[in-house]
Every structure is written in structure tokens, then in C-alpha cells.
Amino acid sequence: MDSVVKSLYETLVSLFSNISLDVSFLFLAAVIIPGIVIFLVMTVNAIVAVYMERKVSAFMQDRLGPMEVGIFGFKGGKKFWGGIGQTIADAIKLLVKEDIIPKDANKFLMMLAPFIIFIGAFVTFIGVPFSEGLVISDFNIGILYVIAMSSVGVIGIILAGWSSNNKWSLYGAMRAAAQIISYEIPIGLSLLLIVIVVGSLEMSAIVNWQAENRWFIIHSPFALLGFFIYFISGVAETNRVPFDIPEAESELVAGWMTEYSGFRWALFFLTEYTNMLIVCIIASIVFLGGWLSPFQLFDIPGIEIPESFFVLDGFYMGMFWLLLKTVLLIFVMMWIRWTFPRLRVDQLMYLCWKVFIPFALANLVFVCIWELLF
């Protein structure tokens, strides 16, 4: 064993000795810079999504939403962009608020839990492509990696609920763990049918297959059912209404976040909107063609498409199309939140174990039959 380790060490040393760049520069380029970019994406997403949700909910309830707080003296008033600085002001307020830890809480674990939840969402972005070739690491097991990393947050939720020494926090954490672990099953089964058709776990390969054939959402009726199961399960996975039972205000105050405040509470908030973004990006990539132009839907044999339409493809337009599809799905999540009432715990589990999982399993069988016949 020592000889193997020694030979491996010598191989690595000889490899890096032939590189003229400094190792610290390579570390900076490979780790630090992508990490900063991912954090900025998460932050901007949270700020924009919170503002968007406030305006969407106001529109649905015949209100105006934020109006007064602007940027550089620009308020906007009753217009859609009115109060555009409100979310930024709230973020600054959270960062400067006092961080209170209960006397009987486990201080170390309570401080650690938000970072575990944040890291789970943070590292998921490593395998998510934003356009053709725009990905930190295009794993050949991309789908499996995303599912695995999205499960890390459960550890932080359990730690947050238990370490707070608060019964409401513990109840919320137990509910969240049961809910997230349960709904990972229909999510995994829905993504598995895509893997069966394509024969690859790599996300870029899935998009390339859709470029050569058609978007999965219109590939077959079973793919459409798979998208529906995935998306609704994704809403439950992110603890959004009507599946926000772990943090039900009328029952558990704020669930596992009850004893948190300031910066650490802001991390929970940031992670929630990041998880929404991840669920919608994955749905856009595997079911809605990813960065492919929607004009590809009209690429039907016998029908000629004007050449000018294909100008809307490419690297930068691919980013635009993926962003547009993701934003539309996030809007649907917000629409669901302000339309449906909260489910009971038994209804939540019934929907998962007696509806989604049996339908997802049957869907896999029907997809296999469909591929054999057609």
C-alpha cells in the first residue's frame, strides 16, 4: 500500500512540475472564482425572487405590493417596479440584526446547521449546466449527483430542530425530514424515466437528445405525467405552500427556524429560494429542452422553418431560453402558493405514498413499453 501511495504522489508531483502556472493560481481559478459566481447567482436569485413573489401575490390579491423603498431615490410608486429596493433593504436588515442563541441550546450545532443546509444547495450547482458548455463540471452522473446533493440539507434541518432545544423546532424538523425523504422517491422515479429513454445520466446528453428528437414533455403522455409528478414533488421538496407543513405558522410558529434570527435565518431564506431555482432549472433541462429554442417545437417534417428563427439559438440565447423557462416555472410555484390552502400531514403523506409513488412506478413500466413499441 505504501508503494502505491508513493508512486501516486510521485506521479502527481511530476504532473504539476510540468505546469508553469502557480498552484495557488490554479486553485483560485478552479475553486474560488466558480464559488463566488455561484454565491452571486444564489444571492441575486433570492433578491429577485422575493421581490417577484411580493408583486405576484399583490397582483393576485388585488394589492399594490412594495411601493416606497426605491434605489437612488427612484420609487416607481404604483408601477410594477415600485418598491424595487425593499428586498435589498430587508436583506441588509437581516445581516445587521442581533444573532440570538437560546440559553439551553446546543450552540455549536445550532450555528453549524444553517451552513450545512446552505452548502447542500451550493454544491448542487456544480453539476448544473446553464447553457451548452457553461457548467463547472459536466458529470457523467449529473442527475444522480444533483439528487444526492439536494439530500444533504435534511441533515442540517434535523440539527437545527434538535439543537434549538425547542419542541416546535423539533416537530418542524421531524416533519421536514419525513417530507423531503418521502418526496425524493417520486422525484427520482420521474427522472429515471428520462434516463431510461436517453441511456445517460449526463444532463448535456439529455439536452442533446431533445435537440435531435423532441422535448421530453411532448415525447409521450407518460413523459408529461412524469413532468407533473416531478414538479409537484419538487414543490413539496422545497417546503412551499401547500406543502409548508414543517413551518406551518398556525401550528409550529416557524418550524425548525423558530429560534433563529439575523444572518443564520437569512441563510435558511436564501437556501429556500435556491432550492426553488434548482428544481425549476432541472425541470427545464430534462423536460423542457434546457437551453434549446422553443422554435424547435415547430421543426416538423414537411414544414419549413425560416432561417431567421435559428438566429435565436446559440450560447447566449441558450442562457436566455433556460432562464426564461426557469422563471416561468418559478412563477407557477408562486401561483400555487397563493392559490391553494395548506394540506394536512396525513394528506401530504397520502399524496406521496399512495398517489405519486404508485403512479411513478407504473409510469416507468409504460415508458419502457412505449419505447419498445414506438
- Could you report the per-residue pLDDT of 164-214, keeping only the tens digit for each? 888 888 888 888 888 888 899 999 999 998 998 888 888 888 988 888 888
Q: What does pTM read for this prediction?
A: 0.83
Whole-number pLDDT of residue 1: 41
Q: What are phi and psi of 181, to 5 degrees?
A: -65, -40
Whole-number pLDDT of residue 5: 44
Whole-number pLDDT of residue 2: 41
Whole-number pLDDT of residue 50: 87
Stretches where the chain sits below pLDDT 50 are 1-2, 4-5, 9, 12, 16
Per-residue model confidence as pLDDT tens digits over 226-270:
999 999 999 998 888 888 877 777 677 777 788 888 888 888 888
Whole-number pLDDT of residue 79: 60
* CA pair distance 300, 294, nearest whole angstrom: 13
Whole-number pLDDT of residue 277: 92
Residue reference for cell 440565447: 317
Number of residues in the chain: 374
Q: What are phi and psi of 138, to 5 degrees?
A: -85, 80
Q: What are phi and psi of 134, to 5 degrees?
A: -95, 80
- All three cell numbers of 158, joined, read 434535523
Tell me how far CA of residue 124 lies from CA of 102, 142, 145, 282, in angstroms. Answer: 32, 10, 8, 11
Closest CA to 167 of 269, 261, 251: 251
Whole-number pLDDT of residue 4: 47
* CA pair distance 132, 19, nearest whole angstrom: 28
Q: Which residues does 275 contact at the CB level (< 8 Å), separation at least 6?
A: 121, 150, 153, 237, 238
Whole-number pLDDT of residue 266: 85
Whole-number pLDDT of residue 3: 53
Residue reference for cell 502527481: 12
- All three cell numbers of 148, joined, read 444526492
